[in-house]
Amino acid sequence: MSEMTFFWHDYETWGLNPRADRPSQFAGIRTNGELEIIGEEVMIYSRPSGDFIPHPDSVMITGLLPQV
């Protein structure tokens, strides 16, 4: 029988509404049932297109700049 694992994840957006705004970062990590980290973390960044201006408050909250 295989061991139970969890994949914990979070993502940030270029705006203040995560349901409608474009993603800026995704991060995740897998743990076992004892919440010990197994495997490597996942970190993916997204650069906004040239015709899109990120919401200034989201940049202040996340610290992610459009140039990342």
Is residue 67 in some structural domain? no
The predicted pLDDT at position 1 comes to: 56
Number of domains in the chain: 1
Q: DSSP assignment, residue 60?
A: H
Is residue 29 in some structural domain? yes
| Rounded-to-integer distance, Cα 22 and Cα 7, Å | 22
Q: CATH number, domain at 49? A: 3.30.420.10
Mean pLDDT of successive 10-residue segments in the chain (68 residues)? 90 89 95 96 92 90 82
Parent domain of 32 = 5-62
Burial of residue 2 (CB within 10 Å: 0-12, 13-18, 19+) is: exposed
Is residue 68 in some structural domain? no
